[in-house]
A = this chain, B = another copy of it.
Amino acid sequence: MLKTLDNALHLLRYFTRERPQWGVRELAREMNISHPVVYRMLATFERHGFLRQDEQTKKYELGITFLEYGAILRDHLSITQIIYPVMKRLAETTGESVILTWLDGMEGICLEMAESTQRVKYAMSVGSRTLLYAGASNKVIMAYLPPHVQEAIIAKGLKPKTDRTILDKDELLRDLARIRSEGWAYSVGEYTENVFGIAVPLFAYDKRVVASLTIAGPDYRMPADAVPAALRALKEAQQEIQTLLQRIQ
């Protein structure tokens, strides 16, 4: 393990949605290291386009090299290549957005999205991270994780995303057990206000849950009695993807 590189990559973690810009000394104070060290890291990242320095403010922010590597990554991710056509078709038949959420550690990450063709639709950015304890797309993954991982996620703390987010540990575990027994999840406004989600899990060859497939949109377009039809289409897509995944692994 390279300490210099390790420190540098750790530094990047400070560039977040909430705090996308940092001055040299500012960041050095935050990280409790000397500012020349931070400066050298920032300057080296900048040479490679991973960071860019604002000409006026002199502050540093993420650079477009990340977009570039993101594009390469998505290109060769055979998984999304295979799954996307199915997602697209599902988005067209249901008229709602379809989202592929991947399991990464104790979080979810939006790997791919097929947008609804309607004007009013749910959209989220590919690459954005989500917490696993709220919303159908996330809970359906969490429901199939081993108990000690579920415990670990809960132990990290349940913060409300909306006022419908389940914050009680026992209630959440009961909900997850129900989802696991039924094989799918449905939620409204748990992760994002006024947004419904219907989600099913996707499994790897070894039966471990690796992702979820979700139909999402504005809640008024999915009353409870419309769910069964959408679920049927979703389960068909799930089947299809599952057999495709078998083939490549």
Residues of A that sit less than 8 Å from B by CB = 1-2, 4-6, 8-10, 12, 15-17, 20, 40-41, 43-45, 47-50, 61-64, 66-76, 102, 104, 109-111, 117, 125-129
Contact = CB atoms under 8 A, between A and B. Distances in A.
Q: How many copies does the complex hold?
A: 2
A61 B125 CA distance: 22
B66 A70 contact: yes
A63 B111 CA distance: 11
Contact of A66 (B9, B73, B102): B73
A20 B68 contact: no
Contacts of A2: 4, 8, 40-41, 44
A6 B41 CA distance: 9
Contacts of A75: 17, 20, 125, 128
A69 B9 contact: no
Given A64-B109, A72-B15, A117-B117, A40 B1 contact: yes
